[in-house]
Structure 1
Amino acid sequence: MNTEFRKTLPGTRLDYFDTRAAVDAIKPGAYDTLPYTSRVLAENLVRRCDPATLKASLSQLIERKRDLDFPWFPARVVCHDILGQTALVDLAGLRDAIAQQGGDPAQVNPVVPTQLIVDHSLAVECGGYDPEAFEKNRAIEDRRNEDRFHFIEWTKKAFKNVDVIPPGNGIMHQINLEKMSPVIQVRDGVAFPDTCVGTDSHTPHVDSLGVIAIGVGGLEAESVMLGRASWMRLPEIVGVELTGKLQPGITATDMVLALTEFLRKQKVVGAWLEFFGEGAAALTLGDRATISNMAPEYGATAAMFYIDQQTIDYLKLTGREDQQVQLVENYARVSGLWADSLKGAQYERSLSFDLSSVVRNMAGPSNPHARVATTDLAAKGIAGQWDEVPGQMPDGAVIIAAITSCTNTSNPRNVIAAGLMARNANKLGLSRKPWVKTSLAPGSKTVALYLDEAGLTHELEKLGFGVVAFACTTCNGMSGALDPAIQQEIIDRDLYATAVLSGNRNFDGRIHPYAKQAFLASPPLVVAYAIAGTIRFDIEKDVLGLDANGKEIRLKDIWPSDEEIDAVVKAAVKPEQFRQVYIPMFAIHEDTGPKVEPLYDWRPQSTYIRRPPYWEGALAGARPLKGMRPLAVLPDNITTDHLSPSNAIMLDSAAGEYLAKMGLPEVDFNSYATHRGDHLTAQRATFANPKLFNEMVIEDGKVKQGSLTRLEPEGKVMRMWEAIETYMERKQPLIIIAGADYGQGSSRDWAAKGVRLAGVEAIAAEGFERIHRTNLVGMGVLPLEFLPGTNRKTLQIDGSETYDVIGERTPRATLTLVITRKNGERVEVPVTCRLDTAEEVSIYEAGGVLQRFAQDFLESATA
C-alpha cells in the first residue's frame, strides 16, 4: 500500500489517500481536468501501487497514453450462478491440475472477495396467472439443478472468500445496486472507492452510483479472483451531456432505448462513458441505473454518473446505515469525487443528447438498438391488419409478455407505472388474451413489498402478472414451456409469434424457441401488449376494448400520469422494506457442517458439472496457426447468443440428443446456460442457434439459415456439430471469418470455450466486442482484425480456402494472414493482432488464463 499520500478523513478515524496531491505532484493542476473515471482509477493506483508503478501509471492516466499496459485492482468480484459456477468449476479443475503436478490444491482460492448470486437458473414453467407460480417454479428449479447446486454448496465450504446468495432472492445487479455496493469501502481503517468486476455484461448497473463496475468474462474474473490486476489499455473516456427533461408519459425505458440507438451510431464500443449536465443531474438514481445497466447494448464498457445528492437520497431510500451514507458524502466531497468538483473535467470526445426528444419507444424485432417509436409501428411494418378469428391466435400473436430484468425492475417508477396501468385496465374490464403467457419476475424482493404497500399486487395478478420468481427468467431466455395446445397451433399454422418483455436483450432465438421475434418495451407497455395480444396491434391508435358503456378504450385512457406515479412511489417505497429483505440475506451464518475435501468429487454421470479438459491434449499444446480451414464465414453483428445460445434445449438439437442418450427426460433438459459446467453438453451448443447465417452455406443463391456449415475439402453441407466432430477427429485446425462487432451481447465464456474446444485457433473479423475478445484471449484463441477497407467480401472469401498466420505476436502488431484458395492462388493480407497488452500476449502464449496461472503457481511454489 502506498503511504506517501495517506491522510486522515476529516470528521472520522479513517484514513484515505490524497489522490489530488499525487496527480498534481506529477503535473500541477492536472487533477481538476481529469474526468470522474480517471479520478477513481487514480485512487485505485494510489492505494495499491508501489511508487515507481504509481508514477508511471499516473503519468499515463494524465497524458491519456493508450500504448502502455494499465493496471486496475478491482475491490471485489460479483458473479451470477451460470458464469460464476463455470468460473468455480474451472478453479476446481485447476486444483486437480495443481494436485496432479505435486502442488497443494487447497492453496488455490479467490483472494478477492467473491459474491455469487444464484439468479440465472429459474425457468418460468408456471405463468403469473397461477397463484402458486413462485413455489412451483422454485421447486422445479431445485429439482433440475440439483447437480449444480450441490457443486455451488461445495464451493462455499471448499474455497475461501466465496459468499453465495441462494436461489429465490433476486438478480445480482439489482442486489448489487440496492445492497452490496457500499460506494465507499473501508478496510483496515482506510476508506476508498468501491470498484468491482462482474461475470455479466450488465455489471455497469452500479456505475449509476459512481462505482466503477464493469462486466467481464468468467475467465478474466478468474484472473482477478486469483489476485491479478485487470490489465487494460487506457480506455477512451467519452462525456455524454444530457440536456432537457423527459416529456410527460415517457419512461426510463423509452429513454434508454433512444440512448442505445444514439450511442450505437456514435460508435462508443469499448469506451467508458460519463453522463453529466442538467438532464443527468435531474434523473433519479433509478433512471440512471436503467441507463448504466444497458451499457453493453450500446457497446460501452462503463456508463458512469457522478456522486451527488441523488446518490445520497438513494442510499437512504434503500436502507443503508446512516454512518455509511455520511461516509459516502464526506469522502466524495473531500476527495474530489462529488459532482460539483467535476465542472472542469475535460473529455477527449463529448456527445450531447436531448432528453426532451424522447418519445414512447420499443426495440425490435431482434436487436436492442433497433429502436422504433410506438407512433411509427405501422410505418415500420410491425403493426398492421390481422384477422380476428374466434378460437384462433392472430398473426403476430404475443405469446409471452414478461415484466422482467434488473434493467427495469430496479426502477420503482417503471414497476409502479405497470401496476397503475393494470389497475386502470381492470377498472375498465380489460383482460389479457388467453394465449399470452404473462409473468412478473422482479430482481429484488423489495419490489413485492412496495407493490403490496401500494395496493397494486392484486391488480397485476388479476391481469396475469403475479410474481413467478425473483430472478432473471425471460430476459435470460428462461421463459419456460408454452401451453402444449398453443405451441401446437404455432407449429401447425407456422404462425408468426412474438414476445414483448421489459428486458435488455431480444436477440434472435434468445427469448423462446417458438417466439420468432421479440420486442423490448417498458413494463406498462408490456401490460398493454398482454391485453392487445398481437404485435400487429397499433398500440397508440387501436382499440383495446370497450368499457361498460360501450366506449372505446385506447392506451391513453389507461396510461397513468407522472404525478400519480411519483406520488405512489413516494408513499409506498420505504427504507424499512430494503432492510427487511437484505439484513437477513446478508447476515453472517456460522458454518457448522462437516468440512469438505479440497478436491471436488466429480459425478461421472452429471450433465451439469464435469471436470474441465483445459490442461489435457491439444488444448495444452502449441497452436501452429497453419493450414486452418474456416468453420464459419459470418456477417456483421454476430452475438454471443449465435455463438453459444442460452435458451431452452430442444430434443432435435445436438445437445438434446446427447442429453437423451445420457438418460435425461426431455422435460428436464433445462437451458444451454445451466449446462455450461459440463463441457460435453456445452460444446454441443457451439453455433447451435437456429437463426445463424453462415455464408458458407448457400441455397438457391441465398445464405441458408440454421446451425449449418460446409465440411471441407468435401464441400458437404451438414449440421454444425457433426462437422465439428469430424474436424476434431481429423485434428484439423480451424479459423472463423467474420464481419463487424463480432461477439456482441452477454459476457459468455462458452462463446470462446466452445470454439476453442472445436479446434478454432484464430478468428479474423472486422471488429470485436470488448468482453468477447478478452474471453478469446483467455482461451488461447488469437483475435485478428482486418484493416479498414478489407473484409470477407473484398477478399471474396467463400470458405473453401486454407489460412496461415505469419509474424511475431506482440501487442497490436501487424501480422500477415495468408489465404490459399482452392485453385492454389495465394493472397497475403495484413491484419492487426488484437492481443492488446503484454499481459494478453503472455496469457495467449501460455494457452490461456488457467494454463498461465497453473504455470505461475507451480513456479512460485517451487521457488
Structure 2
Amino acid sequence: MNTEFRKTLPGTRLDYFDTRAAVDAIKPGAYDTLPYTSRVLAENLVRRCDPATLKASLSQLIDRKRDLDFPWFPARVVCHDILGQTALVDLAGLRDAIAQQGGDPAQVNPVVPTQLIVDHSLAVECGGYDPEAFEKNRAIEDRRNEDRFHFIEWTKKAFKNVDVIPPGNGIMHQINLEKMSPVIQVRDGVAFPDTCVGTDSHTPHVDSLGVIAIGVGGLEAESVMLGRASWMRLPEIVGVELTGKLQPGITATDMVLALTEFLRKQKVVGAWLEFFGEGAAALTLGDRATISNMAPEYGATAAMFYIDQQTIDYLKLTGREDQQVQLVENYARVSGLWADSLKSAQYERSLSFDLSSVVRNMAGPSNPHARVATSDLAAKGIAGQWDEVPGQMPDGAVIIAAITSCTNTSNPRNVIAAGLMARNANKLGLSRKPWVKTSLAPGSKTVALYLDEAGLTHELEKLGFGVVAFACTTCNGMSGALDPAIQQEIIDRDLYATAVLSGNRNFDGRIHPYAKQAFLASPPLVVAYAIAGTIRFDIEKDVLGLDANGKEIRLKDIWPSDEEIDAVVKAAVKPEQFRQVYIPMFAIHEDTGPKVEPLYDWRPQSTYIRRPPYWEGALAGARPLKGMRPLAVLPDNITTDHLSPSNAIMLDSAAGEYLAKMGLPEVDFNSYATHRGDHLTAQRATFANPKLFNEMVVEDGKVKQGSLTRLEPEGKVMRMWEAIETYMDRKQPLIIIAGADYGQGSSRDWAAKGVRLAGVEAIAAEGFERIHRTNLVGMGVLPLEFLPGTNRKTLQIDGSETYDVIGERTPRATLTLVITRKNGERVEVPVTCRLDTAEEVSIYEAGGVLQRFAQDFLESATA
C-alpha cells in the first residue's frame, strides 16, 4: 500500500489518501480539471499501487492517454445467480483441473468479496390476479432449480469470500443501490470510495450514487474474483449536461427513453458518462438511478453522477446508519468528490440535453433506443384501427403487461404513480382485458411495504397487478406460460401479439415466444395498456371506457398529478421500511452445518450443473486460425439475445429436444438462462433465437429468418445446432462475420462460451460492444475489427469462403484476414486486432481466463 499521501480524515479516526496532493505532485493544478470518474480512479490507484506504477498511471489520467494499459482494483464483485452461478461453476471446474495436476483445490477462492443474489430464476407462471401468486411462483422456482440451488448452497460453504442472498428477496441492482453499496468503504481503518464490478450489464445502476460500478461478463468477473487487477484502456469520459426540468406528467422512464435515443445517436458506446448541470442536480436519486441503470441501452460503460445533497438524502431515506451517512458527506467534501468541487472539471467531449424537451414516451417494438412519443403512435403505424369482436383478442393484443425491472421499481415515484393510476381507474370502473397477463415484480421488498403504507396495494391487485415475485421476471424473459386457450388462439389466428413492460430491454424473442414484439413503458403506462388491451390503441386519444354516467374516460382522466405523487412518496416511503427489509437480510449467521468437500460432487444426470470442459480436448489446444468457415454472416446490432437467448425453452428447439431425451417434462424446461451451468444444454442455445437473420440463408432473394445456417462446402441449409454438430464432428474451425455493434445487450458469458464450444476461433465485425468483446477474449476467441469503409458487403461475403488470419497478435495490431473464395480467388483484408491490452493478449494466448489462471496457479505452487 502506498503511504506517501496517507492522511487522517478530519473528524474521524480513519485514514484516507490525499489524491489531490498525489496528482498535483505530478502536474500542479491538474486535479481541479479532472472529471469525477478520474478522481475516483486516482483514489483507487493511490491506495493500491507502488510509487512507480502510481506515478505512471496518474500521468495517464492527467494527460488522458488512452493508448496504454490502465489498472484499477474493484473493491467487490456482485453477481446474480445466472452469470454468478456459471462463474462459480467455472471456479469449481477450475478446482477439479488444479486437483488433477496435483494442486490444492481448496486454495482456489475469490479473494475479493463476492455477493451472489438469486434473482433471475423465477418465472411468472401465476399472474398478479392470483392472490397466492408469489407463494406459488416461489414453490415452482424451488422445484425447477433444485440442482442449481444445491450447487449455490455448496459454494457458500466451499468458497471463502462468497455470500449468498437467497431467492425471493429482490433484484441484485436494487439491493446494491438500497443497501450493499456504502458509497465510501472502510477497511483496516482506511476510508476509500466504493467500486465494484457486476456480472450484469446494468450494474451501473449504483453509478447514480457516485460509485464506479460497471457491468462485466462472468469471465472478467472471475478474473477479478481471483485477485487480478481489471486492466483496460483509459476510457473516453464524456460530460452530459442536463438542463431544464421535466414537464408535469412526465416520468423518469419517459426521460431515460429520450436520453437513450439521444445518446445512441451521439455514439457514446464504450464511453464513461458524467451527468451534471442544474437539471442533474434537481433529479432525485431514484430518477438518477433510472438513467444510470440503462447505460448499456445507450452503449456506455458507466453513467456517473456526483455526490451531493441528493445522495445524502437518499442514504438517509434508505435507512443507512447515521455514522455512514456522515462519513460519505465528510469524505466527499474533503477529498474533492463533492459536486461543488467539480465546477472546473474538463471533459474531452461535452453534450447537452434539455429535460424540458421530454414528452411521454415508449420504446419499441424491438430496441430500447427506438423511442416513440405516445402522441406519435398513430403516425408511426403502431396505433391504428382494430376490430373489436366479442370473444376474440384484437390485432396487436397486449398479452403481457408487467411492472418489472429494477430500472423502474427502484424509483418510488414510478411505482407510486402506477398505484395511483390503478386507484383512479378502479374508481371509474375500468378493468384489465381478460387476455392480458399482468404482474408486479418489484426489485425490493421495500416496495411492498411502502405500497401498503400508501394504501395502494389493493388498488393494484384489483387491476391484476399483485406482487408475483421480488425478482427480474419478465424483464429477463421469465414471463412464464400463457393461458393455454390464449396461446392456442394466437397460434390459430397467427395473431400479432405484444408485451408492454417497465423493463430495460425489448429485443425480439426476449420477453415471450408468443409475444412477437415488445414495448418499454413507464409503470403507469403499463397499467393503462392492461386496460386498453392492444398496442393498436392510441393511448393519448382513444377511449379506455365509460364511467357510471356514460362519460368517456381517457388517459388524462386517470393520470395522477405530480403534486399527488410527490405527496404520497413523502408520506409513505420511510427509512424504517428499508431497515426492516435489509437488517435481517444481511445479518451474519454463522454456518453450523456440516463442512463440505473442496471438490463438488457433480450430478451426472443434471441438466443445470455440469463440470465444465474448458481444460479438455480441443478447447485446451491451439487455435491455428486457418481454414475457418463462416458459421454465420450477420447484420448490424446483433445482441447477446441472438447469440444465446435467455427466454423459455420450447419443445421443438435443439435444447428442448435434448431436455426431453434427458427425461425432463416440458412443463419444467425452464429458461435457457437457468441451464447455463450445464454446457450440454447451454451450447444448444447458440444462435437459437428464432428472430435471427443469418445472411448465409437466402430464400427468394431475401434473408430467411430463423435459427438457420448453410453447411459448407455442401451448401445445405439446416438448423443451426445440426450444422454446429456436423462441424464439431469434422473438427472444422469456424469464424463469424458481422456488422456494427456486435454483441450489444446483456453481459452473458454464454454468448462467448457457446460460439467457442462450437469451434469458432475468430469473429470479424465492424464493431463490438465492450462487455461481449472482453467475454470473447476471456474464452480465447479472437475479435477482429474491419477498418472504416470495409465490411461484409464491400467484400461481397456470402459465407462460401474460407478464412485465415496472419500476423503477430499484439494490442490493437493490424492483422491480415485472408479470404479465399469458392473460385480460388484470394483477398487480403487489413483488420484491427481487438486484443486491447497486454493482459488481454496474455489471456487469449493461454486459451482464456480459466486456462491462464490454472497455468499461473500451478506455476506459483511449484515455485
* Range of TM-score over shorter length: over 0.9
Cα shift readout 1:73-125 (whole Å, capped 9, x = no counterpart): 00000000000000000000000000000000000000000000000000000
Task: Provide the rounded CA distance (Å) in 2 between the counterparts of 1:14 and 1:616.
Answer: 49
Task: Provide the rounded CA distance (Å) in 1 between the counterparts of 2:787 and 2:854.
Answer: 35
Cα shift readout 1:293-347 (whole Å, capped 9, x = no counterpart): 0000000000000000000000000000000000000000000000000000000
Cα distance, 1:284 vs structure 2: 0.1
C-alpha RMSD over aligned residues: 0.2
Task: Provide the rounded CA distance (Å) in 2 between the counterparts of 1:749 and 1:218.
Answer: 6
Structure 2 counterpart SS, 1:231: strand
Cα distance, 1:590 vs structure 2: 0.8
Task: Provide the rounded CA distance (Å) in 1 between the counterparts of 2:457 and 2:667.
Answer: 31
Cα distance, 1:56 vs structure 2: 0.5
Structure 1 counterpart SS, 2:179: helix
Cα distance, 1:377 vs structure 2: 0.2
Cα distance, 1:520 vs structure 2: 0.1
Q: Does residue 232 of the first structure (1) align with residue 232 of the second (2)?
A: yes
Cα shift readout 1:210-254 (whole Å, capped 9, x = no counterpart): 000000000000000000000000000000000000000000000
Cα distance, 1:487 vs structure 2: 0.1
Task: Provide the rounded CA distance (Å) in 1 between the counterparts of 2:99 and 2:5.
Answer: 43
TM-score by length of structure 2 reads 1.00
Match of 1:144 in 2: 144
Task: Provide the rounded CA distance (Å) in 1 between the counterparts of 2:723 and 2:223.
Answer: 33
Task: Provide the rounded CA distance (Å) in 2 between the counterparts of 1:728 and 1:29.
Answer: 60
Task: Provide the rounded CA distance (Å) in 2 between the counterparts of 1:272 and 1:607.
Answer: 39
Structure 2 counterpart SS, 1:366: coil
Cα shift readout 1:384-430 (whole Å, capped 9, x = no counterpart): 00000000000000000000000000000000000000000000000
Cα shift readout 1:123-168 (whole Å, capped 9, x = no counterpart): 0000000000000000000000000000000000000000000000
Task: Provide the rounded CA distance (Å) in 2 between the counterparts of 1:360 and 1:740.
Answer: 30
Task: Provide the rounded CA distance (Å) in 1 between the counterparts of 2:544 and 2:744.
Answer: 37
Task: Provide the rounded CA distance (Å) in 1 between the counterparts of 2:105 and 2:72.
Answer: 27
Structure 2 counterpart SS, 1:742: coil
Match of 1:758 in 2: 758
Summarize the alignment of residues 238-637 of structure 1 with structure 2, pairs less than 5 Å apart: 238-637=238-637
Structure 2 counterpart SS, 1:799: coil
Q: Does residue 740 of the first structure (1) align with residue 740 of the second (2)?
A: yes
Task: Provide the rounded CA distance (Å) in 1 between the counterparts of 2:766 and 2:590.
Answer: 52
Match of 2:646 in 1: 646
Task: Provide the rounded CA distance (Å) in 1 between the counterparts of 2:92 and 2:231.
Answer: 24
Cα distance, 1:64 vs structure 2: 0.7
Structure 2 counterpart SS, 1:186: strand
Cα shift readout 1:432-491 (whole Å, capped 9, x = no counterpart): 000000000000000000000000000000000000000000000000000000000000
Cα distance, 1:683 vs structure 2: 0.1
Cα shift readout 1:642-661 (whole Å, capped 9, x = no counterpart): 00000000000000000000
Cα shift readout 1:56-84 (whole Å, capped 9, x = no counterpart): 00001111111110001000000000000
Runs in 1 of length 4+ with deviation above 2 angstroms?
none
Structure 2 counterpart SS, 1:804: strand
Structure 2 counterpart SS, 1:74: coil
Task: Provide the rounded CA distance (Å) in 1 between the counterparts of 2:223 and 2:62.
Answer: 27
Structure 2 counterpart SS, 1:122: coil
Task: Provide the rounded CA distance (Å) in 1 between the counterparts of 2:437 and 2:350.
Answer: 43
Cα distance, 1:744 vs structure 2: 0.4
Q: Give the gaps of 5 or more residues in structure 1.
A: none
Task: Provide the rounded CA distance (Å) in 1 between the counterparts of 2:682 and 2:395.
Answer: 35
Cα distance, 1:379 vs structure 2: 0.4
Cα distance, 1:538 vs structure 2: 0.1
Task: Provide the rounded CA distance (Å) in 1 between the counterparts of 2:102 and 2:613.
Answer: 19
Task: Provide the rounded CA distance (Å) in 2 between the counterparts of 1:258 and 1:528.
Answer: 20
Match of 1:749 in 2: 749
Cα distance, 1:261 vs structure 2: 0.2
Structure 1 counterpart SS, 2:82: helix
Structure 2 counterpart SS, 1:242: strand
Task: Provide the rounded CA distance (Å) in 1 between the counterparts of 2:369 and 2:388.
Answer: 32
Task: Provide the rounded CA distance (Å) in 2 between the counterparts of 1:258 and 1:67.
Answer: 33
Task: Provide the rounded CA distance (Å) in 1 between the counterparts of 2:251 and 2:309.
Answer: 22
Cα shift readout 1:157-203 (whole Å, capped 9, x = no counterpart): 00000000000000000000000000000000000000000000000
Task: Provide the rounded CA distance (Å) in 1 between the counterparts of 2:677 and 2:583.
Answer: 31
Cα distance, 1:48 vs structure 2: 0.2
Cα distance, 1:40 vs structure 2: 0.1
Cα distance, 1:679 vs structure 2: 0.1
Match of 1:775 in 2: 775
Task: Provide the rounded CA distance (Å) in 2 between the counterparts of 1:674 and 1:36.
Answer: 38
Structure 2 counterpart SS, 1:636: coil
Structure 2 counterpart SS, 1:775: helix
Task: Provide the rounded CA distance (Å) in 1 between the counterparts of 2:332 and 2:535.
Answer: 47
Structure 1 counterpart SS, 2:691: coil
Cα distance, 1:771 vs structure 2: 0.0
Structure 1 counterpart SS, 2:94: helix
Task: Provide the rounded CA distance (Å) in 1 between the counterparts of 2:237 and 2:590.
Answer: 44
Structure 2 counterpart SS, 1:603: coil
Task: Provide the rounded CA distance (Å) in 2 between the counterparts of 1:781 and 1:71.
Answer: 23
Cα distance, 1:581 vs structure 2: 0.1
Task: Provide the rounded CA distance (Å) in 2 between the counterparts of 1:590 and 1:711.
Answer: 56
Q: Does residue 703 of the first structure (1) align with residue 703 of the second (2)?
A: yes
Task: Provide the rounded CA distance (Å) in 2 between the counterparts of 1:137 and 1:226.
Answer: 35
Task: Provide the rounded CA distance (Å) in 2 between the counterparts of 1:125 and 1:748.
Answer: 24
**How many residues in Structure 1 have an aligned counterpart in Structure 2?**
863
Cα shift readout 1:522-542 (whole Å, capped 9, x = no counterpart): 000000000000000000000
Structure 2 counterpart SS, 1:359: coil
Cα distance, 1:784 vs structure 2: 0.1
Q: Give the gaps of 5 or more residues in structure 2.
A: none
Cα shift readout 1:480-527 (whole Å, capped 9, x = no counterpart): 000000000000000000000000000000000000000000000000
Structure 2 counterpart SS, 1:399: strand
Task: Provide the rounded CA distance (Å) in 2 between the counterparts of 1:835 and 1:371.
Answer: 34
Match of 1:91 in 2: 91
Task: Provide the rounded CA distance (Å) in 1 between the counterparts of 2:56 and 2:144.
Answer: 52
TM-score by length of structure 1 reads 1.00
Structure 1 counterpart SS, 2:224: helix
Cα shift readout 1:36-70 (whole Å, capped 9, x = no counterpart): 00000000000000001000000011111111100
Structure 2 counterpart SS, 1:92: helix
Cα shift readout 1:563-591 (whole Å, capped 9, x = no counterpart): 00000000000000000000000000010
Cα shift readout 1:246-297 (whole Å, capped 9, x = no counterpart): 0000000000000000000000000000000000000000000000000000
Cα distance, 1:368 vs structure 2: 0.2
Structure 1 counterpart SS, 2:732: coil
Structure 2 counterpart SS, 1:470: coil
Task: Provide the rounded CA distance (Å) in 2 between the counterparts of 1:392 and 1:801.
Answer: 50
Cα distance, 1:594 vs structure 2: 0.1
Structure 2 counterpart SS, 1:296: helix
Match of 1:178 in 2: 178
Task: Provide the rounded CA distance (Å) in 2 between the counterparts of 1:87 and 1:63.
Answer: 36
Match of 2:16 in 1: 16
Structure 1 counterpart SS, 2:264: helix
Task: Provide the rounded CA distance (Å) in 2 between the counterparts of 1:11 and 1:294.
Answer: 37
Task: Provide the rounded CA distance (Å) in 2 between the counterparts of 1:325 and 1:373.
Answer: 40
Task: Provide the rounded CA distance (Å) in 1 between the counterparts of 2:605 and 2:472.
Answer: 28
